[in-house]
Amino acid sequence: MPEGKRRGLSRLANAAGLAALVLGGTIAAVLVAEIGLRLAGFGTLYEIYSKPTLFWRADPLLGWSHEPSSSGIYVGPRPFPIEFEASVRINSLGLRGPELPLRATDEFRILVLGDSAVAGFEVSWERHYIALLERQLEPRLGIPVTIINAGVRGYGTDQSYLYYRERGHALDPDLVLFVHNTNDLENNVVLHRMRRIYGKPAFALREDGALELVGHPIPDYEVCSSWRLDARYQPIRTDGVTSRTLCGAQIALADRSALFSLASMVLGRFPELVHALTDLTRSGPRAALGFAAVARAAEPADRSQGAALTVALMGAMDRTVRANGSRLVVIISARDLAELDAQALRRAGVDIQLVERRGATTGLVQSREQLVFERDPHLNERGHYYSALGLVPILVKYHEPRGS
């Protein structure tokens, strides 16, 4: 063998040996750190924080819903420093809050629909704006008031509409409140979000204005997959190799590694970096592993399409509520309404009530930082308090005794 070739092979062998030594040392250091953290009593990410699917069960109609008669502590926000540890109880109907009492003759009954902003797992029930509203409205109206919380984390307008149409109307509300959130525009065109166990159906908006349910029956989606509607309201897969790989690694480590938990909490001190890393597992190159043809042929629905669909869903919800002898009120901020076709909503007869984003409707100046958690966009106890104050005059206005 020529001397030059022998030297080249020798250098290659030395480099391989060094790489193996470095890799072995790294693995050993990780194992030692993992064992040390375990011995010190440090747990995995989901031993410290609540899983996103806490209280969820598979639902053949809605994708997911609350597990009836369940309870627990909701801890978060992960992976940031813990800001809330709230006790949550789900009643026998699968709704957050106490059991629903028998309806009194003169009772004013309100059903509230929406997502995590309505579910409000970040605060105890006694501090939730729905519980506060009940306590403030009863003396104001002089009659029994029951407000039913049908909010579920992650729901879009479509799931709230389906819930009311198929189940919620049976609760016989006098008034239905739908609390719109800006992420509804995205949720309404999504069928499965990466890292979630459950998928959901969606509605296609046809040229004649009709709404057609698609993605139903709901398939068993891979956890590390992303599905949404395209511009023609057809389901398309939008994940790629990078996002699937990172998703799988994240799930495995979050369930098993105390070291990953510690690293996540350290990164939590740099929220911009956390959000950037999270985004990598939400979307990746669509033209990957067999999805190239689909990616070239179909573009995902954009935000304007989601806005048009949201308006149509609100209109359908309003017609369904009226057909059941109740009244719908959409609670929305001026900023969020600007993304929708407000004129189309009003032409459809949808009753819109504007509130300040994040709850302050009382005329008292409250900054966003005072109403929500530092590392989480949901209302804190102060935010719930001011939300209740702002909603009281709105709900008083809509009280009409039955038979009047």
User: What whole-number distance in Å separates Cα of residue 38 and Cα of residue 256?
Assistant: 11
Query: How does residue 80 score in pLDDT terms, banded at 50, 70 and 90?
Result: confident
The pTM of the full predicted model, rounded to 2 decimals, is 0.85
- Is the pLDDT confidence value at 10 over 80? no
User: What whole-number distance in Å separates Cα of residue 328 and Cα of residue 351?
Assistant: 7
- Is the pLDDT confidence value at 298 over 80? no
φ, ψ for residue 170, nearest 5 deg: -70, -15
CA 221 to chain CA mean position, Å: 18
Tell me the residue type at 43. G
CA-based nearest residue to 239, from 294, 172, 316: 294
Beta strand 108-113 with 175-179: parallel, antiparallel or unpaired?
parallel
User: What whole-number distance in Å separates Cα of residue 159 and Cα of residue 114?
Assistant: 9
- Is the pLDDT confidence value at 286 over 50? no
User: What whole-number distance in Å separates Cα of residue 175 and Cα of residue 328?
Assistant: 6
C-alpha torsion sign, points 158, 164, 168, 170 = negative
- Residue 39 burial by Cβ neighbours in a 10 Å radius (0-12, 13-18, 19+): exposed
Q: Is 325 left (phi over 0), alpha (psi -120 to 50) or beta?
A: left
User: What whole-number distance in Å separates Cα of residue 48 and Cα of residue 54?
Assistant: 13
CA-based nearest residue to 90, from 174, 131, 150, 39: 150
Domain boundaries along the sequence of the chain: 3-41, 44-404
Query: How does residue 97 score in pLDDT terms, banded at 50, 70 and 90?
Result: very high
According to the model, what pLDDT value does residue 287 have? 36
According to the model, what pLDDT value does residue 294 have? 41
The mean pLDDT of 280-305, rounded to a whole number, is 56
Tokens 């540890």 -> residue: 85
Q: Helices in 179-270 by DSSP H: which ranges?
A: 184-187, 241-256, 258-267
According to the model, what pLDDT value does residue 257 have? 76
**Tokens coding 278:** 């999270």
User: What whole-number distance in Å separates Cα of residue 315 and Cα of residue 304?
Assistant: 17
**Tokens coding 274:** 């956390």
**Tokens coding 404:** 């009047």
User: What whole-number distance in Å separates Cα of residue 283 and Cα of residue 186?
Assistant: 14
Please count the other Cβ atoms lying within 10 Å of the Cβ belonging to residue 307: 16
**Tokens coding 191:** 């069928």
Q: Which letter, b or e, does each residue of 93-129 get, where b requires 16 or more Cβ atoms within 10 Å of its Cβ?
A: bbbbbeeeeeeeeeebbbbbbbbbbbbbbbbbbebbb
- The tens digit of pLDDT for each residue in 254-285 reads 777 767 666 766 666 666 665 565 555 554 43
- The CATH code belonging to domain 44-404 is 3.40.50.1110
